[in-house]
Structure formats: structure tokens, C-alpha cells
Amino acid sequence: MKISVIIPTLNELANLQELIPLLKAELKDYPHEIIVVDGGSKDGSESFCQSAQVDFVQTEKSSRAIQMNLGAKRASGEMLYFVHADTRPLQGFYQDISQAMKRGHQVGCYRYRFDHQSFLLQINGWFTRFNGLFAGGGDQTLFIHRAIFKEIGGFDEKFCIMEDFDLVRRVKKNVHFHIIPKAIQVSARKYEKNSWFKVQWANLVAFLYFMQNRDPKEIRDQYHKMLTHR
């Protein structure tokens, strides 16, 4: 089964220089493609991706929903795997996802742990094992069978933030959402630039606004206002 790894980016050269070799080494024995969908980077991301021989497409609109939908349209694999540039999938992720799909889990994600030893961040990571309201954030990565992605209409492009939670909310209405019981690594850079409490409060406000079905632009503006050093 072919896997299409789709990476939305904006000025993520340093992360791509780590992530792309990791993905290529892991997938070298499996049918795959890597698609980087860029929102207008000025840091040399395009040149690097060309030299790394991965598919690179650029769009003037940098919303992740738009970028990931574009990547999915270009993809030819049965398995779509959406990965943020600052996450690091585990060795064996192809087998994890393909085996999950063979067992009937057509959409899901991983748990995660931060690349920082803070006790509070360890608590955050521990809670990603639960398949509740907060499950399925983009940092957990997302795998989904191409047919299901197409059936639900992909990411809703009006969501300039919280697009991942919106998709998972729609998926859960008809399909079981599976969390692979392994933890990938995610970046703590947002917490390093802001206090833990500040990020938690901003996340909570954004999620409450989301549950109240407020305008995604309002959610985005409030979130960015609260995290002044994002």
C-alpha cells in the first residue's frame, strides 16, 4: 500500500533538513511519496526540497487547511499521512499505519511527547493517549485512508486554525478514530517562547471558541493576540 506523506510548511527549512532525510530513510523500502506544500517561504525550502528529490508545491495562501487539501489532491497513495514539519515520526511508522488500516482503523493519529524534559510538558504528552475531545490535534500527525478523506470533503478551508479538530470531529460521526499507542516527538518551541500557562490558556480559549462554533478568523485572531511571541 502506497503512503503519501503531506507536509504543510512556511519557512521551515531547518526542520525540513531533519525531517525529510528521516522520512526517506524510513520509507526507502516501501511505495511512497513525500509532498511539501509551502505557503510562500523565503528561506530556501524550495531549493532544499528539489535537491532532496521530494515533490514541492507552493501556494500564496498559507492556511494549513488549504495546503493540506492541495497536497491530498496531488497525492497518489491510498494512505494519506499529514505531518507537521516540527514533528518527528517514529521508526516503523509505515508498518504502524498500514497494520492499523489492515485491522480496520482507517483514520487516526499517534500519541506524542515533547522534545523537552519539562514536567508540565510531560503531563501534556501523557494526556494524548486519550481519545476524547482534545484528540487529533495536528501535532499528533494524522493518517487517513484516501477514500474517507475524499468522502468527508477533506479539510474545511474556512478553518484558518483548528482545521485538524474540525476534521476529526466530522470523522468521528461515522468512523472510529484510532490512536496508535506509541509517542512521536513534537517541538516545544511554542512553550519555549511563551510560558506553559500562557500557551495552555490560549489553547483552552481557542478550543472553547471552536466548540461554540465561532468564526475561525475570530479564533485565530484571539489566539495570536494571546501568544505575542509565537
- Is 225 within the bounds of a domain? no
Question: For residue 89, what pLDDT is reported?
Answer: 96
- Is 77 within the bounds of a domain? yes
Query: How many folded domains does the chain comprise?
Result: 1
Question: For residue 229, what pLDDT is reported?
Answer: 55
Question: For residue 60, what pLDDT is reported?
Answer: 78
- The Cα–Cα gap between 27 and 37 comes to 19
Question: For residue 133, what pLDDT is reported?
Answer: 86
- Is 216 within the bounds of a domain? no
- Is 30 within the bounds of a domain? yes
Question: For residue 69, what pLDDT is reported?
Answer: 97
Residue-range definition of the domain harbouring residue 42: 3-113+135-186
Strand ranges across the sheet with 55-58? 55-58, 32-38, 3-9, 79-82, 142-145, 107-114, 178-186, 87-88
- Is 168 within the bounds of a domain? yes
Question: For residue 163, what pLDDT is reported?
Answer: 97
Question: What is the domain-level CATH number for residue 45?
Answer: 3.90.550.10
Query: What does the longest C-alpha to C-alpha distance in the chain come to?
Result: 45
- Which residues of the chain fall below pLDDT 50? 230
What does DSSP assign to residue 161? S
Nearest to 89 by CA among 35, 14, 140: 140
Per-residue pLDDT tens for 130-140? 999 889 999 99
